[in-house]
Structure 1
Amino acid sequence: MTSPGFRAAHPDDAEKAALLHADSWRRHYRGAYADSFLDSDVVADRRSAWSSRLAAPANSMTAIAEDNTGLVGPNPDPGLGISGRRPPYPEVCAAAGYG
């Protein structure tokens, strides 16, 4: 596995971001969200959110982290971090094997 690189997200990234995000929520948010929600179609929920976010960025930019295996994390508004670049959602990267 190589270190992830970053690029601007495109609307066609919504499905992969949704799958990774839903997997992350199911792994890391048990107890924070109701099991009934996490066991339902979380992918559809995240697909809707990511499709909307990437179709109409509204004065923001989403970066995608990728390595040689594919998408490892979405990062809305990457310029909000301490060093000027916030890492992708930590729980999403953990689900992909980083962090």
Structure 2
Amino acid sequence: MSPPNYRRCLSCRRLAPKTEFWRIVRVYPSQTIQLDYGMGRSAYLCPTASCLQAAQRKDRLGKSLKVSVPEAVYQTLRQRIAVDSTQELDSLGQTQ
């Protein structure tokens, strides 16, 4: 069994196994942005609202990927946060 691959959040700089992060990819050679899969330059981000806000406010994703990041990518990530938080609330309600 191999050791886990560690990555660093580009916003808060937390080091953790890469499975705990969102992966944002600048796909080669098309230079488009994709989430979670693809070959090319990657950046990793904690799946939290605070890290997403800091990354957008300071354009950390754009600087790391060396390309302009469309607003639609940030909106998709915000939707993921909303879905994750509602699923957490649902699971808490079912256990009680």
TM-score (norm 2): 0.27
TM-score (norm 1): 0.26
Q: Flag the structure with larger Rg.
A: 2
